[in-house]
Chain A
Amino acid sequence: MSPPEQRGAMTSVRPSVAPVLLRYGATALVAFALFGLILAISGKDPIASYRDILASTLGSTYGLSEVIVTMTPLLLTALAVAIPSRVGLINVGGEGQLIMGACLSTWAALTFAGLPAWLLLPIMALLGMIGGAAWAWIPGQLRARGLVNETISTLLLNPVAALIASFLIFGYWHSPMDTNKTAVFSESARLPRLLDTRIDLGLIMGLALLALFWYIMRSTRWGLEMRALGGNPVAARLNGLPARRYTIVALCLGGAVAGLAGMAMVSGYYGALLANFSRGVGFLGFLVCWLAGGSALGIVVTSFVVSIILAGGNLLQLTRDVPYSTINILLAITLFAVLARPDFTRLRSAR
């Protein structure tokens, strides 16, 4: 018997917009202030640095296209986190799923190099999705059977995937000249570029899948069932929704999207498989998804902002002699501030 708790849960409603904005504004401010402090300590002018970042990214067509190039895989890896999060699962394995997807599609690119692009690219995409989905299927099964928490198992499978990729590259696939990457893919295994820039078809795939995700969640039966499972797993199960099946399917779909991101990176951006090629894009997707609260539009906006920081950081390294790793500090501070989720409204009502 616990009337006070029940009443509390029933009378409180969804937070209104203003506190949410306040929360994100304050979070961003804290992150930028802390990073400015770090810049100041290392003897750089924080204001000038921030101005440089904006000028170099949004100030020119080339800068903007670089931001979009950076953003392309983030859209997909963020979606890979968003899908399972809708049924209440936390997928921290985007990195590993991306690598496995990249490995499988690389295999196709190297093996069927002679096929025409209209045939080879779909094969690569399919294999990439299968690779990522298979890697997510393992934690999905473990979770559905109640054996292992998916947060732990997806996270721990990441280095395993990276080591498998290294094993394949160093052991079998490396080109005659290099030991740490494969030969450059044939032209038919490269994703087509858009508008004479370095932006490739991966961007369209990412945006299309996000639109599809938004539609499915909003309008379809499966979206309704997934929201129910995420909203109250106990009630959803008692209401007759197949919780286990959704656990596995949602994780596999997330993995497939991450695998597609891997395919897009090797086929579009690099044109080869490199050891450590992903540079944490899978984890960044997690950051983006949490910042965006898992919504499709939010992912587009947030990954754009994060990409500005990333692309700007590259330039900061050149012009202001700031080590690139400081950019990682900024992102880590942001992630911390977001995950800690200071709730300013609750602070006041708690006492």
Chain B
Amino acid sequence: MLSVRAFSKRFGGVLANDSISLDVLPGEVHALLGENGAGKSTLVKCIYGFYRRDAGELMVDGHPQEISSPHDARAMGIGMVFQNLTLIPALSVAENVALFLPDLPRIPDLKSIAEALRSLGERYSLKVDPWALVRDLSIGQQQKAELLKLLMARSCILIFDEPTRVLAPHEVQGFFHVVRRLVEDDLAVILITHKLDEVLAIADRITVLRQGRVAGQVTRTEATEAGLIRLMFDKDVTRSPIARPEAQAAGGPPVLELIKASSRGDGAEVSLHQVDLVLNAGEIVGVAGVSGNGQKELGELILGSIACAEGTKRLFGAPSTNQPIWDIRRSGVSYIPENPLAMAAIPYMTVLENMAVTHTSSYARRGGLSMDWQAVEADADRAWRRLGFSVSSYLPARSLSGGNLQRMVIARELLHDPRLIIASYLTRGLDVQSAQAARSALLQARDRGASVLLISEDLEELFEYSDRLLVMFEGRFVGEFMPADTDIYEIGRLMTGSEATYVAS
């Protein structure tokens, strides 16, 4: 039905898709499985005409086709349900569907559209009130409406991008039921996911992507959990483990205690559920998880950017549940967020100004009337010497490359001898040497008695550098290990949620 031949797509220096081929047959659920960044989304966005592929061929029903926009894709019967739903909240379901119809008359007959929606809804058990306003619908219902929209437009190849991410567990079963009905009618479904249990429950064929390549293709009958995990996580290159001293047990109260802390996320945001976490001085605690399972929220909850809806937080032995960010930062908490351009840097300010912005009070002179830029520069120089890389001080941050931006943020956050460092995706965008330098800087900070929360998807990095390893899935901790007592497969299984047993707290 749909054939992809040797697709390649390059973003700058990154080969996101490296000659990927796959076939989708009518009446099958084809799962695309892989870690974040494996190239799943890029592949389907190329198919859907969102991105233009660099090389490769696309065939629909055996004929080569050129799809250069989502409009072309829809005309060929390819429909996609995005993670962020694309309905217009102020309009009713029927109106949303009407907008999407390929042959909408000047005066749309909404009544007959609503009628058609009802019968389609009954056929595929997708019950949504056609006259309800989209903004009044739950996310699950909106997803159904989105799917109805595609079906009304006579799509016969349906692409779902992590459809279950926004659904509650009981809704997932309903969704699977719908998918089964769809393929019974000979429609083809492409399902993007990183959850193993879902793949094993619903997919007929599974294509595993890793680092932009097809790592393997299996049918459901051949598929095993262990086999899929090996395909997903096996790395081509293995780093030689570095020798590092064991953590010294330091005395004193724990640096951070979270006791049954929960947060409330809106819509597609993740909520944290009753998270318990103790960080001691002088240890690196790794948090493994596929991104979007609450790691970002965990970091922001500790920093105070997200409120604790329930539970308590104690920092350095003192209660800090409702402390504002600036107090938490001043008490010695550093944060290296996963997206430095959006979350850490001020694009229009220079590197030097960016270095000063977290500690403005310590560089202020004469009560704030002037700033001591020489002190900032001296501190920056010290940071560069310590880290072994440097960034020019007087460039505006927005002209830096991703790697240099990350270097700047790392240097800034390690500068003022923090007592707690929250590092998400520390080495993103860094070359091997800088990555190594950044990691050893974390080790040095640990040896000075700081506590480090290392959030990462790179399992080898976590195994190498963590004194303790936690696994996060859907806003909870689902496992806690010493790195020596576990292996990549066990962690991978927990990350992908194929083992639903939560660790008793």
Q: Which residues of A contact B (CB under 8 A)?
A: 1, 3-4, 6-7, 9-14, 219-222, 224-225, 227-228, 231-232, 234-242
Contact partner of A238 (CB less than 8 A), chosen from B344, B360, B400, B405, is B344
The smallest beta-carbon distance between A220 and chain B, in angstroms, is 6
The smallest beta-carbon distance between B24 and chain A, in angstroms, is 22
CB <8 Å contact, B360 and A232: no
Say whether B187 faces chain A, with CB atoms less than 8 Å apart: no
CA distance A231 to B342 in the complex (A): 11
CB <8 Å contact, A231 and B343: no
Residue of A with least CB distance to B305: A238
The 9 closest A-B pairs by CB, nearest first: A240-B329, A3-B11, A221-B364, A231-B346, A221-B368, A240-B326, A239-B358, A232-B346, A228-B346
CB <8 Å contact, B396 and A219: no
The smallest beta-carbon distance between A227 and chain B, in angstroms, is 6
CB <8 Å contact, A10 and B398: yes
Contact (A219, B305) CB under 8 Å given A224-B356, A238-B343, A240-B329: no
CB <8 Å contact, B402 and A10: yes
CB <8 Å contact, B16 and A3: yes
Residue of A with least CB distance to B335: A238
The smallest beta-carbon distance between A218 and chain B, in angstroms, is 10
CB <8 Å contact, A13 and B398: yes
CA distance A11 to B370 in the complex (A): 32
Give 28 pairs: A residue, B residue, CB < 8 Å, sorted on A.
Answer: A3-B16, A4-B51, A6-B341, A10-B399, A10-B402, A11-B399, A13-B396, A14-B348, A14-B396, A219-B371, A220-B364, A220-B371, A221-B361, A221-B363, A221-B368, A224-B357, A224-B360, A225-B357, A227-B349, A228-B357, A231-B349, A234-B342, A235-B345, A239-B329, A239-B357, A241-B357, A242-B324, A242-B326
B329-350 interface code vs A (CB 8 A; 1 in, 0 out) = 1100001010001111111110
Residue of A with least CB distance to B358: A239
The smallest beta-carbon distance between A85 and chain B, in angstroms, is 14
Contact partner of B344 (CB less than 8 A), chosen from A9, A227, A239, is A239
Which residues does chain B contribute within 8 Å of A227, judged by CB atoms?
346, 348-349, 353
CA distance A6 to B403 in the complex (A): 12
Say whether B369 faces chain A, with CB atoms less than 8 Å apart: yes
Contact partner of A240 (CB less than 8 A), chosen from B12, B41, B42, B358, is B358
New A-B contacts (15) at CB < 8 Å, excluding given A1-B37, A14-B398 = A3-B14, A7-B11, A13-B398, A13-B399, A220-B369, A221-B364, A221-B368, A227-B346, A228-B353, A232-B346, A237-B305, A237-B325, A238-B300, A238-B305, A238-B344
Contact partner of B370 (CB less than 8 A), chosen from A10, A219, A225, A236, is A219
The smallest beta-carbon distance between B375 and chain A, in angstroms, is 13
Residue of A with least CB distance to B396: A14
Contact (A224, B329) CB under 8 Å given A238-B337, A239-B344, A239-B357: no
Which residues does chain A contribute within 8 Å of B442, judged by CB atoms?
none
CA distance A11 to B11 in the complex (A): 13
Residue of B with least CB distance to A231: B346
Q: Which of B289-347 contact A (CB under 8 A)?
A: 300, 303, 305, 324-326, 328-330, 335, 337, 341-347
Say whether B219 faces chain A, with CB atoms less than 8 Å apart: no
CA distance A204 to B74 in the complex (A): 65
The smallest beta-carbon distance between B136 and chain A, in angstroms, is 22
CB <8 Å contact, B42 and A1: yes
Say whether B36 faces chain A, with CB atoms less than 8 Å apart: yes
Which residues does chain B contribute within 8 Å of A13, judged by CB atoms?
396, 398-399
Interface centre among A11, A236, A239 (most CB of B within 10 A): A239
Residue of A with least CB distance to B12: A7
Q: Which of B433-466 contact A (CB under 8 A)?
A: none
The smallest beta-carbon distance between A225 and chain B, in angstroms, is 6
The smallest beta-carbon distance between B322 and chain A, in angstroms, is 14
Say whether B224 faces chain A, with CB atoms less than 8 Å apart: no
Residue of A with least CB distance to B364: A221
Which residues does chain B contribute within 8 Å of A220, judged by CB atoms?
364, 368-371
CB <8 Å contact, B346 and A1: no
Residue of A with least CB distance to B337: A238
Say whether B401 faces chain A, with CB atoms less than 8 Å apart: yes
Which residues does chain B contribute within 8 Å of A225, judged by CB atoms?
357, 360
CA distance A184 to B51 in the complex (A): 71
Which residues does chain B contribute within 8 Å of A9, judged by CB atoms?
341, 347, 398
Which residues does chain B contribute within 8 Å of A12, judged by CB atoms?
398
CA distance A221 to B357 in the complex (A): 9
Which residues does chain B contribute within 8 Å of A10, judged by CB atoms?
341, 398-402, 405
Which residues does chain B contribute within 8 Å of A4, judged by CB atoms?
11, 51
CB <8 Å contact, A3 and B41: no
Which residues does chain B contribute within 8 Å of A6, judged by CB atoms?
341, 402
CA distance A221 to B346 in the complex (A): 15
CA distance A174 to B325 in the complex (A): 52
Which residues does chain B contribute within 8 Å of A224, judged by CB atoms?
353, 356-357, 360, 371
CB <8 Å contact, B347 and A231: yes
Contact partner of B326 (CB less than 8 A), chosen from A3, A222, A241, is A241
Which residues does chain A contribute within 8 Å of B361, judged by CB atoms?
221
The smallest beta-carbon distance between B160 and chain A, in angstroms, is 17
Which residues does chain B contribute within 8 Å of A231, judged by CB atoms?
346-349
Which residues does chain B contribute within 8 Å of A234, judged by CB atoms?
342-343
CA distance A337 to B346 in the complex (A): 29
The smallest beta-carbon distance between B305 and chain A, in angstroms, is 6
The smallest beta-carbon distance between B380 and chain A, in angstroms, is 15
CA distance A225 to B346 in the complex (A): 10
CA distance A1 to B425 in the complex (A): 14
The smallest beta-carbon distance between A53 and chain B, in angstroms, is 37
CA distance A250 to B402 in the complex (A): 32
CA distance A228 to B305 in the complex (A): 17
The smallest beta-carbon distance between B181 and chain A, in angstroms, is 31
CA distance A84 to B142 in the complex (A): 39
Which residues does chain A contribute within 8 Å of B400, judged by CB atoms?
10
The smallest beta-carbon distance between A224 and chain B, in angstroms, is 6
B180-214 interface code vs A (CB 8 A; 1 in, 0 out) = 00000000000000000000000000000000000
Which residues does chain A contribute within 8 Å of B346, judged by CB atoms?
227-228, 231-232, 235-236
The smallest beta-carbon distance between B284 and chain A, in angstroms, is 22
CB <8 Å contact, B345 and A232: yes
Which residues does chain A contribute within 8 Å of B363, judged by CB atoms?
221
CA distance A13 to B400 in the complex (A): 9
Residue of A with least CB distance to B36: A1
Which residues does chain B contribute within 8 Å of A3, judged by CB atoms?
11-12, 14, 16
Q: Which of B340-391 contact A (CB under 8 A)?
A: 341-349, 353, 356-358, 360-361, 363-364, 368-371
CA distance A236 to B370 in the complex (A): 20
The smallest beta-carbon distance between B229 and chain A, in angstroms, is 21
